[in-house]
Structure 1
Amino acid sequence: MDCRVVVEAAVPVYDVETTDEAVRIAISKTGEMLNPDLNYVEISMGTRTSPDGEQLPPAFVAADEALVALELEMSVFNVEREEHAARIARKEIGQRLHDIPLKVLRVEPLEDGEDHGNHGNGDEGGDGGDGGSNHDRGDDRDDGRDGDGSDGSDNGDPDAEGDAEDDLLPEFEEMVEDER
């Protein structure tokens, strides 16, 4: 399964006077921290609402410092569950955005043909995406689905593919444990 994950980040910005300036600097700062390793992550302004449901600007400025809400979107490939995709995205983004709080907002499964335009970006820079399925993302994605996806899914190969994913999941879990 492939998923699109949206993560909210609270980015601090210093020496700013307006919310527009804070947002521009926060996007630039976040882009610098993510690139070149995660250049396929899309960065956009986040949305904030008051407890009453009133729409608020994406940045809060006080004493020439701001806290900016940004949304970071990335595709995660070859995962078994949505929770797995969320953990991978949060880990990959969190490794590059030190001391910036992150919260997974939503995980949306992608259809087979959906998001094909971004697969090249995800495959190029995404080889570090989940640690355990690095070669699968390039090999299975290009060979199994793009060229003959129907053959792989109709001939009983999903069991073999599922076993490959099961083998990868423990490796990922071990990596998470090692990081703690």
Structure 2
Amino acid sequence: MDCRVVVEAAVPVYDVQSADEAVRIAISKTGEMLNPDLNYVEIDMGERSCPHCGDDLQPAFVAADESLVALELEMTVFNVEREEHASRIARKEIGKRLENIPLEVLSVEVVEEESGGDEDGEAVGDGGFDDGASA
């Protein structure tokens, strides 16, 4: 089975003036760390909310010109036995490239197969990956 895994990353950014600037820098920094090996991982702003009132918060917290940015990294893992296996593979592959950045698996979703034949048949580590393009 194939699974779509979403991992949250807490990316530190330095010398920033605003949350928007911090998010842009964090996405760029993360993209540089993942490329070219994991260029199929989709990077997006994380969603945060106030634990007390439930209001939406910005994905970046800025204090003293430093920021911590919540990003969501999404990838497809192919040919796994269980969702837990897909979760471990995604976390390991992303974690190898994002050293010293905390990661947490947010969701694992089974991807329905579109055709009867399995031509790709490769695991993520062997080059069988989703390039992120949608039709």
Q: What's the TM-score, normalizing by structure 2? A: 0.86
Question: In angstroms, what is the RMSD of aligned CA positions?
Answer: 2.1
Q: Which runs of 5+ in 2 are unaligned?
A: 130-135
Alpha-carbon distance in 2 for matches of 1:75, 1:113: 14
* Residue 113 of structure 1: how far off its partner (Å): 1.3
Give the aligned residue type for 1:14: Y
What's the CA shift for 1:54?
Answer: 1.0
* Structure 2: distance between partners of 1:16 and 1:113: 44
Larger Rg: 1
* Aligned match of 2:84: 83
1:102 and 2:103 correspond? yes
1:105-116 to structure 2, matched below 5 A, reads: 105-113=106-114
1:53 aligns with 54
Larger fraction in strand: 2
The yes-or-no answer on 1:14 pairing with 2:10 is no
1:1-180 equivalences under 5 Å are 1-51=1-51, 52-113=53-114, 129-130=124-125, 134=126, 137=128
- Indicate the SS of the match to 1:24: helix
Give the letter for the 1:25 counterpart: I
Q: Whole-Å Cα distance in 1 between the matches of residues 79 and 89 of structure 2?
A: 11
In the alignment, the residues of structure 2 paired with residue 64 and residue 90 of structure 1 have an alpha-carbon distance, to the nearest angstrom, of 29
Q: Secondary structure at 1:27's aligned position in 2? A: helix
Matched residue count: 124
Distance 2:70 2:109 in 1: 20
Q: Following the alignment from structure 2 to structure 1, what is the Cα–Cα distance between the partners of residues 4 and 112?
A: 10
Q: Which has the higher contact order (CA 8 A, sep 6+)?
A: 2
Q: Cα offset for 1:96? A: 0.1
Partner of 1:80: helix, strand, or coil? coil
Structure number having the greater helix percentage: 1
Q: How far apart are the structure 2 equivalents of 1:11 and 1:113?
A: 35
Q: How far apart are 1:84 and its partner, in Å? A: 0.1
The runs of 5 or more residues in structure 1 that have no matched partner are 139-180
Question: What letter matches 1:36 in structure 2?
Answer: P
What is the CA deviation profile of residues 3-52 of structure 1, one whole-angstrom value per residue up to 9, with x for unaligned ones? 00000000000000000000000000000000000000000000001112
Give the TM-score normalised by the residue count of structure 1: 0.65
How far is the alpha carbon of 1:53 from its aligned partner?
A: 0.9
Counterpart-to-counterpart distance in 1, 2:4 and 2:47: 18
Q: Following the alignment from structure 2 to structure 1, what is the Cα–Cα distance between the partners of residues 94 and 55?
A: 29
Question: 3-state SS of the aligned residue for 2:16?
Answer: coil
